[in-house]
Chains A and B, each alone.
Chain A
């Protein structure tokens, strides 16, 4: 066991981890931040996407010890300070960008990473960026629509909800 400390959603946290402890296990089991989901556990599905030093990573394919000293962001840190949904979360709700919701934490975190680098993505850019996030409910149309809306673009011409 080794000591690890990092900043998660702005708070300094620490804990004891094994070498093999995954970042997602530390977040979910030690910090009780269960919003980050484990879908496939093979780095395919993207349900576990979090931000490490501002960049989207799959928390199931990174060790907790490798996040030593890092600034980690999870879905729990996405809401506005008053607890209301942020722009991306609200757009997912408004445009029915989820059904079962299992993939949604990863979708929202990937979206935040995309819009940080590319504030007005095209529909094609959104679909390309989401290659590492799998949703088995929606067929992606409403997710893409929500992301376009979250970026402040007109979505009236995008496929019906």
Chain B
């Protein structure tokens, strides 16, 4: 890994100031960024660790009944404390492995937007609000393709607000070597309709399966998906699974998520 200067600010304002330097990069839990640095795929001059900013850690409830998660909150804390949103807590509790969950953060996962990561599915299915140091971004506007988001240079995810659905479940077909999702589907049933977010499948990253949303909003049962088909166009195809296989899994995982939703 190339060397860099490490800075550990304790406030969001100090972190934003440090990220103003050219070639500075934010460091969340590092569970993706550190392996990336080891492969010399990134070469920041300064790494701004967000791990010492206490105002960015923790889980709470907003007055509107949303589950609010600080951007630097590790997955293990969300798994333990997001009890008001069991589908979210379960999703967080199955990311990676226990040691990874003690370091990896929700803000880091969403900022990276890996096409096979779990948290993007939670944010998109929940219709979450991504809050940064400068603005609020709706999940529907936030994800803009594989490893691409609405974030500007130096912008930090300080908090994520998850509306709590009536019922939800994240069904993940684990790629056992990486523990990422080969395909993962989050289904969230709200009073005004169902949202379905798919990760691990599309070359464009996480997306909403709108046909399934319409069918499930009329009839929230796995059977409602029976007549739907998923095209393999634009699906990720690699040694772990072909595009056809992933397309098949999208429907299977969606059905299982609906059946398991609570």
Contact = CB atoms under 8 A, between A and B. Distances in A.
Interface of A: 2, 18-20, 22, 41-44, 46, 49, 52, 55-58, 61-63, 65-66, 68, 110, 113-114, 129, 131-133
Given A19-B47, A43-B100, 6 more contacts: A20-B2, A43-B35, A58-B99, A61-B35, A65-B8, A129-B98
A133 B2 CA distance: 28
B99 A66 contact: no
A44 B177 CA distance: 8
Q: How large is the interface on B (under 10, 10 to 19, 20 to 34, 35 or more residues)?
A: 20 to 34
Interface string B102-129: 1100000000000000000000000000
B96 A132 contact: yes
**Which one of A18, A20, A42, A114 has the highest number of Cβ atoms from chain B below 10 Å of its Cβ?**
A20
B98 A61 contact: no
Nearest to A4: B6
B8 A132 contact: no
7 contacts: A2-B6, A43-B34, A57-B103, A61-B103, A62-B34, A66-B8, A133-B97
Interface string B24-51: 0001001100110110000000010101
Contacts, number: 77
**Which one of B6, B96, B99, B103 has the highest number of Cβ atoms from chain A below 10 Å of its Cβ?**
B99
Contacts of A131: 97-98, 179
B147 interface: no
Interface in B143-193: 177, 179
A51 B224 CA distance: 47
A2 B47 CA distance: 13
B58 to A, nearest CB: 15
B127 to A, nearest CB: 30
A49 B100 CA distance: 10
A49 B99 contact: yes
A110 B35 contact: no
Given A56-B98, A129-B98, A62 B8 contact: no
Contact of B102 (A22, A56, A66): A56
A41 B34 contact: no
B38 A110 contact: no
B13 interface: no
A24 to B, nearest CB: 11
A55 B102 CA distance: 7
Contacts of B97: 46, 131-133
B6 A63 contact: yes
